[in-house]
Amino acid sequence: MALVNAVTPQPLHRALGLTDGERERICELLGRDPNDFELAVYSLLWSEHCGYKHSRPLLGRFPSEGGHVLQGPGENAGVIDVGDGLAVALKVESHNHPSAVEPFQGAATGVGGILRDIFAMGARPIAILDSLRFGEPSTDHQRHLFAEVVAGVGHYGNCVGVANLGGEVYFEPAYEHNCLVNAMCVGLLPAARLTSAGATGVGNLLVLYGSKTGRDGIGGASVLASQGFDEASADKRPSVQIGDPFMGKKLIECTLELLDRGLLASLQDLGAAGLASSTSEMAAGGGVGLDVDLSRVPLREEDMQPFEIMISESQERMCAIVEPSRLDAVIEACTRWDIDATVIGEVTEGGILRAFHEGQMVGEIPVETLVDGAPRYEVERTRPARLADRPLEFAPVTDIAGGLRTLLGSPNLASRRWIYQQYDQLVGSGTAVRPGGDAGVVRLTPSRRAIAISLDGNGRRTWLDPRRGGAAAVCEAARNVACTGARPAAVTNCLNFGNPETGEVGYELAEAIEGMSLACEALGLPVVSGNVSLYNEHFGQPIYPTPVVGVVGVLADAELAVKAGFQSEGHLVLLAGDGAAALDGSEYQKLVLGDVAGRIPAPDLVAEARLHRFLAEAAERRLLQSAHDVADGGLAVTLAESAIAGRIGVVADCDQPFSEGDGRAVISASQQDVEALAALAGELPLRRIGRVGGDAIVLSGQALPLAEAAGIYESALPATVEGSG
């Protein structure tokens, strides 16, 4: 009798996310069929999350060299020289798919992972930032996601003891089924000491230290981060890792001690794909092989199979290469920190990764085939039909006060105090400028120097024009840093896009990278690290193309840092720069006009660079009382935010009050310094638009009481979370 509704089992390689062609390529590289263990390892290392199959051919467009760069892309994090014998490590990464499935742990382990990337470079983490995206907060589910992600970020960072200095959050329908959680970390290290992940020295030992290994996180890299979401996504909850921030703190201190004592030959954290990724990358980086005995790996669960041990993404684990003569000292240090440390293998010749379990070899793979052998796909590029060739025409805005009330109460523009008050902003005693302004500023003790850090992006504007939106993301992040008086020095980025196998997403990805690269070149900013998160979509509906850009800038003296709030009655208000602005893609267009359409203006990159130099030089000469970039919400919202932050009113002319664009900043200065500012500006447009004072925000003759504006601005996000907004 024939079977009814019989289902043919899916071949293993397809179940693991590999195509038929990729399996054939593996067979060619090995000269034989892979066994199941080897196939599982290939599936993770060749996943989009680890192998960058579609994005790597495009990423080479980014400029990555510059006078400050000590370490560019290729290691756990980028490193730049900031003077006085100090260096800064910086990196941003995504934990989007895990956070959509389990928001608290997804966000928490995202923070844990980016911290490990930083101290794996030998740097002490000193600041965290986060960039978040959710659907419209009109449903219980979206509010739950938002609240749990914020709680997860705060939980891990607060427990570990690293200050959270800023970030951003947006709510858009495009992120309804696929939230974005990007975490950035910055760390401090001596410029003379760089740590590499590349394994060296045949006969040296591979030491695994940190938490025990379990089944949490198995398949996270390939299952969650390399495909879209569907109705089965809830079943993927076991793939989300579980974090232990207290172990994370011990791991930081133990690792930095081991490096300070010169006990480690190389170091790598265990993140996506676990031991499979860390061991293959270490071996490939040093041009050597590794023998790994999986039977020696400390486990917290019984009966784990060899492939489970190899690909587990359990958190708070590090791998180090240690010379045999230094092993006892390493074990002793780890024991003092109450951390397990176990020799699980050794460095070999020949470039082969061999895995053993209970005396049997379970896998034998040339490391180059894992790390550099992944196929590279040229993305198809189909220009989306929605893209407009020119901006829309709008009637002039007449109700400035009413529009300002609406925008200040928007979840996308309202005060983020509800978020950052859950984060420890002062731990470490280095914070010079807290969250709430343009960029966080942290002192680099024991130097007088400081760094300013910003993390920015705008998916809606990039959706309207990917190239211009990519350039604008770089401009805004760098402009935020410049507004503190710092000189932008380097970029890290996270590229959040949909399925790159579709032509429209391929076009968005390629064009955004081109725009970002043009901006980086014009502003003299090398891209030293980054991350790519693709397949962010739900049933074929992609998120907005969302490049998130982190910028670090350098201040010669922390005392020079400029804040966003107006400082005193009688100071003059000036508009620096004269970049093109439009309502296309603006918050005003979305909220008041009820649409997102048109084409955003192109950033003037030469003028943008001129503005950044002006702001830094003006701060160095102590000519600025405040500085705040004109961005979301346009000039009207910028003026209002500076007034609310300074708790003092302002009277100003406000042409095109809600138009958004690049290349502008609102500054305030004493009357006696205006002439010097004008001389310093040179070709940069600089015009007086108002005066600080009073108890209202008066824009082109229309007044909004400062107390009312502050009440709207501060209450909107808490009301949104509670479902009463």
* One-letter-per-residue 3-state SS of 52-90: CCCCHHHHCCCCCCCCCEEECECECCEEEEEECCEEEEE
pLDDT band at residue 49, thresholds of 50, 70 and 90? confident
pLDDT at 218: 78
Cα-flanking dihedrals φ and ψ of residue 362, to 5°? -105, -10
State the amino acid at position 522 in one-letter form.
A
Catalytic residue chosen out of the listed positions 54, 68, 95, 177: 95
**Residue 708: CA count within 13 A, CB half-sphere:** 11
Contact 362, 294 (CB under 8 A): yes
Q: Is 95 a catalytic residue?
A: yes
Q: Determine the distance from the C-alpha atom of residue 722 to the mean position of all C-alpha atoms in its chain, rounded to a whole number.
A: 27
**Residue 640: CA count within 13 A, CB half-sphere:** 38
Cα-flanking dihedrals φ and ψ of residue 459, to 5°? -65, -35
Other beta carbons within 10 Å of 298: 15
Three-state secondary-structure class, residue 121: coil
pLDDT tens digits for 317-339? 999 999 999 999 999 999 999 99
Q: Which residues of 604-625 are buried (b: 16+ CB within 10 A; e: fewer)?
A: bbebbbbbbebbbbbbeeebbb
Q: Any idea where the domains of the chain sit in the sequence?
A: 9-45+196-378
Nearest to 409 by CA among 137, 154, 144, 596: 137
Q: Does position 52 have pLDDT exceeding 50, yes or no? A: yes
Helix (H) or strand (E) holding 496: strand 487-496
Q: Does position 38 have pLDDT exceeding 90, yes or no? A: yes
Residue 601 DSSP class: P
Nearest to 485 by CA among 661, 625, 580, 599: 625
Q: Does position 633 have pLDDT exceeding 80, yes or no? A: yes
Pull the structure tokens for residue 379. Answer: 């993305």
Locus of tokens 């192109």 = 602
Residue 543 DSSP class: P
Q: Does position 716 have pLDDT exceeding 90, yes or no? A: yes
pLDDT band at residue 219, thresholds of 50, 70 and 90? low
Classify domain 9-45+196-378 at the CATH topology level: Phosphoribosyl-aminoimidazole Synthetase; Chain A, domain 2 (3.90.650)
Q: What is the mean pLDDT of residues 448-475?
A: 97
Q: Does position 184 have pLDDT exceeding 60, yes or no? A: yes
Q: Which residues of 497-515 are buried (b: 16+ CB within 10 A; e: fewer)?
A: bbbbebebbbbbbbbbbbb
Q: Does position 169 have pLDDT exceeding 60, yes or no? A: yes
Q: Does position 87 have pLDDT exceeding 80, yes or no? A: yes
Contact 135, 175 (CB under 8 A): yes
Pull the structure tokens for residue 439. Answer: 């960029």
Nearest to 265 by CA among 313, 310, 199: 199
pLDDT at 344: 98
pLDDT at 226: 46
What percent of the chain stands above pLDDT 90? 88
pLDDT band at residue 725, thresholds of 50, 70 and 90? low
Catalytic residue chosen out of the listed positions 13, 49, 97, 628: 49
What percent of the chain stands above pLDDT 70? 96
Q: What is d(CA 41, CA 58) in angstroms, rounded to the nearest whole number? A: 25
What's the mean per-residue pLDDT of the chain? 93
DSSP 508-536: HHHHHHHHHHHHHHHHT--EEEEEEE---
pLDDT band at residue 213, thresholds of 50, 70 and 90? very high
pLDDT tens digits for 290-308? 999 999 999 999 899 999 9
Cα angle at 169 between 165 and 170, to 5 degrees?
Answer: 160
Q: Who's near 133: CB < 8 A, 6+ residues apart? A: 169, 170, 171, 172, 175, 179, 180, 459, 496, 543, 546
pLDDT band at residue 225, thresholds of 50, 70 and 90? very low
pLDDT at 127: 96
pLDDT at 540: 86
Nearest to 265 by CA among 245, 247, 248, 290: 290
Q: Is 97 a catalytic residue?
A: no
Q: What is d(CA 442, CA 229) in angstroms, rounded to the nearest whole number? A: 39
Q: What is d(CA 410, CA 544) in angstroms, rounded to the nearest whole number? A: 19
Q: What is the mean pLDDT of residues 117-127?
A: 96
Q: CA–CA distance from 355 to each of 18, 279, 301, 633 (Å)?
A: 21, 10, 20, 56
pLDDT band at residue 428, thresholds of 50, 70 and 90? confident
pLDDT at 222: 45
pLDDT at 221: 46
Q: Does position 458 have pLDDT exceeding 60, yes or no? A: yes
**Residue 501: CA count within 13 A, CB half-sphere:** 8
State the maximum Cα–Cα separation within the chain, in Å, rounded to a whole number. Answer: 97
Q: What is d(CA 600, CA 106) in angstroms, rounded to the nearest whole number? A: 34
pLDDT band at residue 220, thresholds of 50, 70 and 90? low
Q: Does position 9 have pLDDT exceeding 70, yes or no? A: no
Q: What is d(CA 582, CA 584) in angstroms, rounded to the nearest whole number? A: 5
Between 74 and 544, the more confident residue is 544
Sign of CA dihedral 535, 540, 545, 546: negative
Q: What is the mean pLDDT of residues 404-416?
A: 97
Q: Who's near 241: CB < 8 A, 6+ residues apart? A: 98, 105, 109, 216, 217, 220, 313, 314, 315
Q: What is the mean pLDDT of residues 387-414?
A: 96
pLDDT band at residue 722, thresholds of 50, 70 and 90? confident
Q: Who's near 606: CB < 8 A, 6+ residues apart? A: 522
